[in-house]
Structure 1
């Protein structure tokens, strides 16, 4: 495979269209691309992988984000419209013929959704069939696991610098890159054949149903994971929005915003209270004051009148009694004169006269009121009327006092209402935050419902699958032909297992030699390691020192372990013999000057027929650049504008005294 050129359009920091010619020259395999940290070197490596593998690409900047979110975030902030894309042109040999591929992958932000398109051109003509099945096609050309051994950055070299952590890489490389997995795949296919042979023809419908359900379950798993991630994302946004709203509401309340929103209500309450107070005052003045209530001011006079009326009534009664007694005494004396002596009659007369005179004292009172019986009754009922009026007046006065207190509170609240110009900005901000929270709550409910729907669908599909398996198991029967196929398959699988072990041992032996040779070339201490062994079961590295004893990897310096990681990748590529380009991002890491010189002189020019080096100014410096120039085919510098936060591609390489343009 050979990479010819790549075009980045509004991808990451690359604004507009930026094109790099990646074609090497005879004897000059290196394309040197320089840039300071943050200029977009790793973004360029991500772009190559994204163009080839799409959602499966192992891009460094993706993290745990979903593919749609990663695409959306990778669009240059200044792009208008919000659209980005990558074009990659490469060639490779397919069935003995060289074939040129141009991959054009574009995506555009439409509302909240990201729409992606992929076009595949083969020898200049669009091929829709291969474009639709590109994920499978690229696996035939360059499997993702294999590509990870040729497209790597300094961080991967750091992770491989630990021999224990290198075991999974060695295992993956041996099986995928060196063809051992082909034997394993044959054994797996034979096992699948055995399982298929155990199924009768009548069971074919059940198998198709199970396959359909399994496919739906896989799609449902993707949908559930995506829905869950969207729920988490919206929930986080909602939490942040609620915190923002709370902050605005706190500031709003501090400025008197609640009183401002209630100003109309307070004004209405004030008007209502004033009208009630006026009505009560009118009632006190026009109703109670105009009635008998003022008579309460004449309490002592009314008591004197009552006493005088009582005395006049008693005098009138005494006067009537005297008249009756006078008539009675006269009749009694007339009767006694005939029977008694004159002296006795005189004594009785004196006694009766004295009695009348004593009674006449109470009747001799001035009677200037001379009230009638009706007037006296009205005077008697006046106390009850005045008591009722007094209680009514007290209630009204208490209500007046309460209304005045209420008005005082309302007036103080109205006095504290802030000016509209002061609070207008906070009102607008509060309304906007509330709308934002409301929208996010609606989005969250929608996302949660989508996730719940996907979960219900998963449960239903699981039940359907169990039923389908149960139905299949109930009708499963062994056929003689199937048993024969199973028997032969077992024999072949046993043979393939032995063959695979032998093939694995052969490749491991070659790999041990290649890695040791690569490490010896790169090391300045040629006598440090005498031998190198790889365990075929655990795929761990064992280093043998110059004394023939095992060498603890911890005794190696950080730079030496990094060179060991590079030797591992180089040895794998040499044993595999695949003509694949190598893309190396920030390759020199913690290496000292001597180790860097060895990499520059011995590894980079021979790593592959095409080597893309993504370096900082402190890695490939002036001295190393001079040593590397004989192997350089193209040079570029990624120039970052700190004011616009965008990167452009310029020809040439160099920051110091040496600048080289190829």
Structure 2
């Protein structure tokens, strides 16, 4: 498919009729539509989506009601008509698809979707297609299920990361859409059709066998298995229906929760801050209690500080007394020796008499020593009194209550500052979420968690029933084969049909597996090639695909990277889109809103060089922060076929103008 022209009339910010022509050149195949945020880039993307499928989506993929699609300025003058005309080619045929809504005649001011009438018209090479065939024709050109691979918001590329997760509901849905694009459902439908024919033929074979006495017991066993199969199939259908209903409920809650993501984050932050505040208040309370306890004994700390110098002085006095006492003992001993020498004036060494002069000197020495000894006299009672004082003062001990008290005062001051900050933050967040019912959000989360648990149980039940069905079908096949090979069953028409449909079912089953495997390998091959040209990291060796078509980056040694950045995720998603478009049975233009939002300049340059190769037509809806018209446009200016810009008329009106 190749887009030629779109005519927009009163769609969202685009009042009146506005015409945009798409590039038709083989190499100059890029169209740029510049527009600041909130000017209408996403609305332009939605105009194409709505023209094809009657669907426009807003944030978080929520469907935009019809009343919000009609331009506000037009509606204010009671012009409630809105239309999109798409001209495109497909397989050398020219298509004109027009979709229009107008308010119903009995409605004054529309408020719900049913207040509008919708008309869809299609011409192929000028021939008008009847209404009941239009949807079929659109699906042949571009089924809605695969439109996500050529018509998407670049900010939603990260959703493909779900393909890496096992048993992820969103990933499963994307996988189904991928396989739809790759043509797998065609084979699945064929296999299922033959399964139905096989079942009917087996039951006819059972009825035929029931008429034979030789085969009657086998027919009875087969009939019993048929009943079990019907029961299991009914259980399986009921379980899958129940699963689908719960998934719809989960999706609905997810939509609600997505719209309150900021409030939820704020509420989670509020819960943390509230818990921190409570812990801080408890800590302050405990510190105050400890401070009061310390005050009871803090006087000891003050007394201890005052007593220590006195205690040191007393100990020094006692030490001086001990020293004087010891010195007196030494002096008394010396005096005693000298006095002995006076009583016996004969020298004990040489046995000669001591001269008068020496005796006089000894007497003088004794007098000096006695004088020194009298000065060293210590009263033992004085020492005892000092010992008593030392013992009393030593009992005055400190547990550093004063220092601890000061630490607690400082700590409490800091805690009070922290408490004030917490209370300020809590007040600010409470103001932010004042318009949200956070209790209801929490209730919805709780309900969602319960649904997820139910889904897990249902999936286990489905797996169990499918296993039982597999065993039943295996037993049916064995019995059917025995009947077919019997004398009575060999030539019966029912047995011939059973053998035929059984073979065809096997062929289609094998074909499904083969197609899936080859499609995955093809997607991996093309995606890896795109990734090598898009990434700036030369040490990556490529990509590896899983059963869900999720892509993992491989390092230089072929090891899977466990974590990847938002930018890397976007590059991988673009690589997957390219691989799918090149592998898909149907191809179309790529129309991308905000494709470069999370990329650094080097990756951005690589993407701009590669995007024109991804499809016959590439439409990029960007702002100047993504692609600088004076710099980055040089990287691929030779591929640009046409440029448009969104001009702001007012807050509710924009105009698309062609630039040169």
TM-score with structure 2 setting the length: 0.51
1:597 equivalent in alignment to 2:605: yes
Structure 1 partner of 2:210: none
Cα distance in 2, alignment partners of residues 64 and 578 from structure 1? 26
Superposition map of 1:505-584 within 5 A: 505-527=517-539, 529-536=540-547, 538-552=548-562, 554=563, 556-576=564-584, 578-584=586-592
Cα distance in 1, alignment partners of residues 643 and 516 from structure 2? 40
1:124 equivalent in alignment to 2:156: no
Structure 2 partner of 1:358: none
Per-residue deviation, residues 454-500 of structure 1 (Å, max 9, x unmatched) = xxxxxxxxxxxxxxxxxxxxxxxx99645543442222212221222
Is residue 160–residue 550 contact of structure 2 (8 Å, CA) maintained in 1?
no
1:494 equivalent in alignment to 2:502: no
Structure 2 partner of 1:92: 90
- Structure 1 residues without counterparts, runs of 5 or longer: 201-217, 230-477, 653-660
Displacement of 1:25 in angstroms is 1.6
Q: CA RMSD in A?
A: 3.0
Is residue 161–residue 561 contact of structure 1 (8 Å, CA) maintained in 2?
yes
Per-residue deviation, residues 155-180 of structure 1 (Å, max 9, x unmatched) = 22132256526954773355222222
Is residue 559–residue 590 contact of structure 1 (8 Å, CA) maintained in 2?
yes
Structure 2 partner of 1:108: 102
Structure 1 partner of 2:434: none
Structure 1 partner of 2:136: 136
1:646 equivalent in alignment to 2:653: yes
Superposition map of 1:196-595 within 5 A: 481-482=493-494, 484-527=496-539, 529-536=540-547, 538-552=548-562, 554=563, 556-576=564-584, 578-595=586-603
Residues 62 and 159 of structure 1: CA distance in aligned 2, closer, same or farther (over 3 Å): closer
1:186 to 190, 211, 216: 190
Is residue 9–residue 86 contact of structure 1 (8 Å, CA) maintained in 2?
yes
Cα distance in 2, alignment partners of residues 526 and 24 from structure 1? 35
Is residue 141–residue 586 contact of structure 2 (8 Å, CA) maintained in 1?
no
1:172 equivalent in alignment to 2:176: yes
Residues 186 and 634 of structure 1: CA distance in aligned 2, closer, same or farther (over 3 Å): same
Per-residue deviation, residues 248-272 of structure 1 (Å, max 9, x unmatched) = xxxxxxxxxxxxxxxxxxxxxxxxx
Displacement of 1:539 in angstroms is 3.8
Displacement of 1:60 in angstroms is 3.1
TM-score with structure 1 setting the length: 0.51
1:44 equivalent in alignment to 2:52: no
Displacement of 1:58 in angstroms is 5.8
1:147 equivalent in alignment to 2:147: yes
How many aligned residue pairs are there? Answer: 365
1:59 equivalent in alignment to 2:57: yes
Structure 2 partner of 1:21: 21
Per-residue deviation, residues 137-166 of structure 1 (Å, max 9, x unmatched) = 211221112221111111221322565269
- SS where residue 31 of structure 1 aligns? strand
- SS where residue 148 of structure 1 aligns? helix
Cα distance in 2, alignment partners of residues 486 and 58 from structure 1? 48
Per-residue deviation, residues 198-227 of structure 1 (Å, max 9, x unmatched) = 789xxxxxxxxxxxxxxxxx9xx99xx9xx
- SS where residue 26 of structure 2 aligns? coil
Per-residue deviation, residues 355-413 of structure 1 (Å, max 9, x unmatched) = xxxxxxxxxxxxxxxxxxxxxxxxxxxxxxxxxxxxxxxxxxxxxxxxxxxxxxxxxxx
1:619 equivalent in alignment to 2:631: no
1:73 equivalent in alignment to 2:85: no
Is residue 6–residue 85 contact of structure 2 (8 Å, CA) maintained in 1?
yes
- Structure 2 residues without counterparts, runs of 5 or longer: 205-240, 253-482, 484-488
Structure 2 partner of 1:424: none
Cα distance in 1, alignment partners of residues 200 and 67 from structure 2? 44
Displacement of 1:607 in angstroms is 1.2
Is residue 11–residue 71 contact of structure 2 (8 Å, CA) maintained in 1?
yes
Q: Which has the larger radius of gyration?
A: 1
Cα distance in 1, alignment partners of residues 173 and 625 from structure 2? 29
Displacement of 1:525 in angstroms is 1.0
Cα distance in 2, alignment partners of residues 545 and 169 from structure 1? 29
Cα distance in 1, alignment partners of residues 87 and 623 from structure 2? 26
Residues 559 and 61 of structure 1: CA distance in aligned 2, closer, same or farther (over 3 Å): closer
Is residue 5–residue 21 contact of structure 1 (8 Å, CA) maintained in 2?
yes
